[in-house]
């Protein structure tokens, strides 16, 4: 079955047109990733209009090319000029730039390029192995569980908004409100339309997304004369030979680092809202802690490049696992991909892999292939990418603004969508300036209708609200949601206030309840282990409180 599906997917993708689209996508991603301030999410969002006219697998393959290219592109500016192209390569600059300054830019780039490649391949293997298994778990879900899962995705996104958690929550709720404008899916009743025809249709998801994210980002990029007229990046002409052989030897000798960092990347990607911007720093930190020579980190040490670069590429695989297995977008990029699939009437859910094997396996293969493609492109056309990033910001912004308009029009051939784009461009720009995170709002727009549908189905089966607490998966997600809301306070007060020592044991003990309720052998066994661990933490609690007080 797996071989059949894989062969069918290869057949689907192995056409000249698809391969060309992937090359263009990966090149665009590499360029976007190399431009400081130009996010990968924005590059994927801007690719979207081109995919409307394509088949679902072709469109997704192109976007995956952009995604993987963007993750790898950030290392070029990070290593050559010390300014990370994307937040996902922040930690790469810690050792990449010092190594380049020491006269070894070719080796630094080689380490970055090959670590990205190995990270991507490890995460592809995990994606293929884990996604179908996780989807099987997802098949156990009932409407109550789905609703609780979406509730969890929204709360965790908002709670990861850092210091601005309340702004994150407001942003997420605003997204839910935006999604509820227009005719409702269940009864066909118009909501929040005020008798205006334009509002009664509701807002199409993609113009809202492009307006909120891309349009407002461009406005921030050209906010003043200096920013508008500067080149996209300060990289000088480069004539560097990437040292492939030496880099591969170094990476293989440090294989524990690459495997550990890739696993950190995949795990971070699986968690909703925790993307590559977090995984690269986590992996760097762990590599430093595990190294026998931590003092060498920050001075141009190879392990300091290998860890973040393998982790950030591996994150993509993790995010795709959640999207494909559960139908839940973990971040803005997978939200866009979900939107692209919905346009083609493909609804990701736990049944997605079994019902749409051709598309599902096309995603696996495209992700696998994109890593090779990016490796070849980076090795062969580094100079070309650097040249492109010399364009002035205002030139790019002016062209992209018109492109956004044309792109959203092509979605439904409706001029109103262009107005939606502009209006949400203003909303996004105002929110950015008021420091409201946009990711929760975008996820709110995507997940709002899905959450309402599952809530409606739950209530159609039973009006008893206690069902949300008696179904094990639902209870599990509700518990995790509650603790995720408290997570940012826990992070701030950890090691300073006594209440934080209760957080972990309480959390572990709480999640054992739904695990025991699930029955069988494996899950109660996991619950027993967790219970034992939480008991140990409780036993050590008085000592931990005393240490904190002293």
Partner 1 sequence: MRTLDRDTIVSILLLVFCGFLIWAGFQIRDPQFGELPPAAWPQGVSYVLTAFCLIYFFQSVFSNKPAPEASTSNASPEHPQGLIGWVKHFGNPIACFALYFLFLFTLPFFGTLIGGTLLVFLLLSLLGGIEPKKIGLHALIAVVSVGAMWSLFTFGLRVLLPRGEILPGI
How many other β-carbons are positioned within 10 Å of the β-carbon of residue 517? 16
Closer to partner 1 by Cβ: residue 227 or 291: 227
Smallest distance, partner 1 to C-beta of residue 209, A = 17
Find the part of the chain contacting partner 1 (CB under 8 A) among 108-116, 177-185, 269-277, 366-374. 177-185
Cβ within 8 Å of residue 13, ≥6 positions away: 19, 22, 57, 61, 362, 365, 366, 369
The separation between CA 187 and the C-alpha centre of its own chain, rounded to angstroms, equals 33
Contact between 482 and partner 1 by CB under 8 A: the answer reads no
Residues 436-455 that bind partner 1 (CB under 8 A): 448, 452, 455
Nearest distance, CB of residue 503 and partner 1, angstroms: 21
The Cα–Cα gap between 165 and 401 comes to 31
State both tokens at 293: 């020579």
Size of site (CB under 8 A) for partner 1? 57
Among 189, 466, 496, 521, binds partner 1 (CB under 8 A): 189
The CA-based diameter of the chain, rounded to the nearest angstrom, is 69
- For 190, list phi and psi in degrees, rounded to 5: -80, 140
Phi, psi of 183 (to 5 degrees): -65, 135
- Where residue 435 falls (left for φ over 0; alpha for ψ -120 to 50; beta otherwise) is left
Choosing from 73, 110, 167, 481, the residue that interacts with partner 1 (CB under 8 A) is 167
Please report the beta strands in 133-278, taking only residues with DSSP state E, as ranges in sequence order.
182-183, 190-191
Q: How far is the CB of 183 from partner 1 (least distance, A)?
A: 9
Does residue 177 belong to the site contacting partner 1 (CB under 8 A)?
A: yes
User: In this chain, which stretch among 5-13, 23-31, 399-407, 474-482 interacts with partner 1, using CB under 8 A?
Assistant: 399-407
Question: What distance in Å separates the CA atoms of residue 172 and residue 157, rounded to the nearest whole number?
Answer: 8
Check binding of 413 to partner 1 (CB under 8 A).
yes
How many angstroms separate the CA atoms of 471 and 26, rounded?
Answer: 43
Q: Find the binder of partner 1 among 239, 402, 466, 520 (CB under 8 A).
A: 402
Query: What binding mask, one character per residue, do residues 47-76 give for partner 1 by CB under 8 A, x or -?
Result: ---x-xx-----------------------
Q: Where are the alpha helices (DSSP H) in 291-356?
A: 303-326, 332-343, 352-355
Instruction: Tell whether residue 415 is a contact of partner 1 (CB under 8 A).
Output: yes
Q: Is the CB of 53 or the CB of 292 nearer to partner 1? A: 53
From 36, 269, 405, 505, residue interacting with partner 1 (rule: CB under 8 A): 405
Check residue 489 for interaction with partner 1 (CB under 8 A): no
φ and ψ of 182, to 5 deg = 100, -170
> In the complex with partner 1, which residue's Cβ is closer, 228 or 506?
228
Partners of residue 182 on adjacent β-strands: 191
Per CB under 8 A, 16 contacts partner 1: no
d(CA 116, CA 30) in angstroms, rounded, equals 12
Q: What is the helix, strand, coil percentage profile of the chain, to 5?
A: 75, 0, 20
Would you tell me which residues interact with partner 1 (CB under 8 A)? 50, 52-53, 166-167, 169-170, 173-174, 176-177, 180, 184, 186-187, 189-192, 194, 219-220, 222-225, 228-229, 392, 394-395, 397-399, 401-403, 405-406, 409-410, 413, 415, 418-419, 422, 425-426, 429, 434, 448, 452, 455-456, 459-460, 463
């Amino acid at each position: 079955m797996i071989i059949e599906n894989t062969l069918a997917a290869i057949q689907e993708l192995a056409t000249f047109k698809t391969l060309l689209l992937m090359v263009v996508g990966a090149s665009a991603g590499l360029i976007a990733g190399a431009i400081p301030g130009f996010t990968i999410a924005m590059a994927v969002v801007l690719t979207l209009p081109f995919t409307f006219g394509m088949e679902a697998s072709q469109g997704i393959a192109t976007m995956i090319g952009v995604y993987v290219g963007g993750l790898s592109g950030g290392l070029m500016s990070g290593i050559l000029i010390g300014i990370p192209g994307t937040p996902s390569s922040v930690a790469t600059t810690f050792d990449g730039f010092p190594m380049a300054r020491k006269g070894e830019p070719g080796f630094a780039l080689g380490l970055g390029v090959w670590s990205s490649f190995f990270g991507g391949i490890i995460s592809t293997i995990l994606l293929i192995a884990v996604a179908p298994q996780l989807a099987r778990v997802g098949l156990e879900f009932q409407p109550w569980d789905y609703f609780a899962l979406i509730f969890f995705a929204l709360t965790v996104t908002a709670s990861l908004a850092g210091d601005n958690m309340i702004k994150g929550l407001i942003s997420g709720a605003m997204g839910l409100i935006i999604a509820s404008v227009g005719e409702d899916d269940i009864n066909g009743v118009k909501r929040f339309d005020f008798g205006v025809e334009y509002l009664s249709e509701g807002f199409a998801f993609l113009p809202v997304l492009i307006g909120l994210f891309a349009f407002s980002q461009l406005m921030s990029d050209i906010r003043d004369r200096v920013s508008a007229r500067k080149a996209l990046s300060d990289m000088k002409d480069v004539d560097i030979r990437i040292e492939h052989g030496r880099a591969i030897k170094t990476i293989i000798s440090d294989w524990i680092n690459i495997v550990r960092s890739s696993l950190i990347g995949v795990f971070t990607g699986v968690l909703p809202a925790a993307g590559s911007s977090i995984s690269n720093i986590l992996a760097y930190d762990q590599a430093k802690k595990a190294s026998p020579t931590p003092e060498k980190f920050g001075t141009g040490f190879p392990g300091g490049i290998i860890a973040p670069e393998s982790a950030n590429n591996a994150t993509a695989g993790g995010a795709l696992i959640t999207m494909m297995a559960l139908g839940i977008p973990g971040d803005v990029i997978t939200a866009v991909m979900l939107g692209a699939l919905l346009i083609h009437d493909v609804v990701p859910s736990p049944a997605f892999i079994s019902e749409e094997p051709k598309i599902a396996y096309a995603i696996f293969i495209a992700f696998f292939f994109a890593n090779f493609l990016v490796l070849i492109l980076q090795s062969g056309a580094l100079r070309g990418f650097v040249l492109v990033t010399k364009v002035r910001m205002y030139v790019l912004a002016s062209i992209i603004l018109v492109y956004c308009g044309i792109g959203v029009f092509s979605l439904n051939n409706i001029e109103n969508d262009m107005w939606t784009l502009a209006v949400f461009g203003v909303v996004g720009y105002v929110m950015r300036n008021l420091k409201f995170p946009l990711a929760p709002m975008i996820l709110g727009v995507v997940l709002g209708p899905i959450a309402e549908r599952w809530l409606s189905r739950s209530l159609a089966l039973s009006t008893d609200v206690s069902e949300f607490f008696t179904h094990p998966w639902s209870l599990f997600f509700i518990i995790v949601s509650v603790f995720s809301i408290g997570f940012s306070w826990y992070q701030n007060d950890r090691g300073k206030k006594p209440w934080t020592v209760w957080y972990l044991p309480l959390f572990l003990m709480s999640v054992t309840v739904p695990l025991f309720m699930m029955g069988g052998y494996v899950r109660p066994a996991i619950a027993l282990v967790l219970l034992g661990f939480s008991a140990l933490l409780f036993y050590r609690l008085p000592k931990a409180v005393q240490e904190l007080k002293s």
